[in-house]
Structure formats: structure tokens, C-alpha cells
Amino acid sequence: MVVIAEERPGGDELLALYRDVGWTAYTRDPETLVAAVLGSHLVLTARDTTGSLVGLVRTVSDGVTIVYVQDVLVAPEHHRAGIGGALLDGVLERYAHVRQTVLTTDAEPGQRAFYESRGFVEVHDVVPTPLRSFVLLR
């Protein structure tokens, strides 16, 4: 059993979760990671029965017209247990009134089916008018 809650976890457990999923761009600078999570519009966590942090989703938003789902991560030993879906569903419920929900992710196998199961469409597949998406990474 996992408990989903709105909270901002502390640095050590936050760093441990991001390390577990291999997100080294975040773990190289722990202070920036903590600041990013603290500055997020919404943070939902998933904790197992021992209270350990096993998943997290965070958003960047104006709360009215757009929400960016910034991170969705689940510890590898808890994959395929519905945690990522529960976290993302929590975001979608809280932002149901928002017109645009945007998510950028890498092209790992299985992710397309997961996000499509929650109603997301790849930007080039939007109809009737295809959209463009741009990114500048540093």
C-alpha cells in the first residue's frame, strides 16, 4: 500500500529518490534540486507503509491557464505498481480546470502508452491543428 500526499520532502530523501532513478542532472547539485522542489507549484509524494519516499510528481504552473508536469518519478523497485499513475492522476485532478497540461519526457519504451492512458497526446499528433514544441536545454 502506498499513501499519496501533498508535501515537500527533505533533501536527503529527495536526493536518494532522484539517485535511485538515475536522474544525475538533478543529483549533481543537491541544493538546486531542493530549491526546485520547494519552488514547485505542487508536489505530490508516494510513501510506502514504512514511510519511505518511493515516488514524486511536481508541477510548475500559474494555476489557471497552464501547468507543466516537471517530474514524475518512482523508485525502480516500485515500478509497475500503479504509483506513477496515481501520482499523475492526482495532478490531473487538481488541475482539471486548467486548459493546457504540458509534459516533456525522454523517449523510453513504454512511456508513450503510459501517458496516452492518461489522455496525453504527443505534440505532433494533435488534431485538428498540429502543434510545435521547442526546448532549449543548458
Specify the pLDDT at position 8: 96
pLDDT tops 80 at residue 109: no
Number of domains in the chain: 1
Helices (H), the chain: 11-20, 24-27, 30-38, 83-94, 111-116
136 occurs within a structural domain = no
130 occurs within a structural domain = no
Grid cell locating 65 = 491557464
pLDDT tops 90 at residue 136: no
89 occurs within a structural domain = yes
What does the alpha-carbon distance between residue 55 and residue 109 come to, in Å, rounded to a whole number? 20
134 occurs within a structural domain = no
Q: What is the reported pTM?
A: 0.92
Q: 72-97, pLDDT tens digit by residue? A: 999 999 999 999 999 999 999 999 99
Q: 111-123, pLDDT tens digit by residue? A: 888 999 999 998 8
Query: What is each CA distance from 98 to 64, 75, 94, 132, in whole angstroms?
Result: 5, 29, 9, 20
Residue type, 64: V
Nearest to 59 by CA among 24, 107, 95, 112: 95
What does the alpha-carbon distance between residue 82 and residue 122 come to, in Å, rounded to a whole number? 22
Q: Which domain holds residue 83?
A: 3-125
**pLDDT above 70 coverage of the chain, percent:** 100
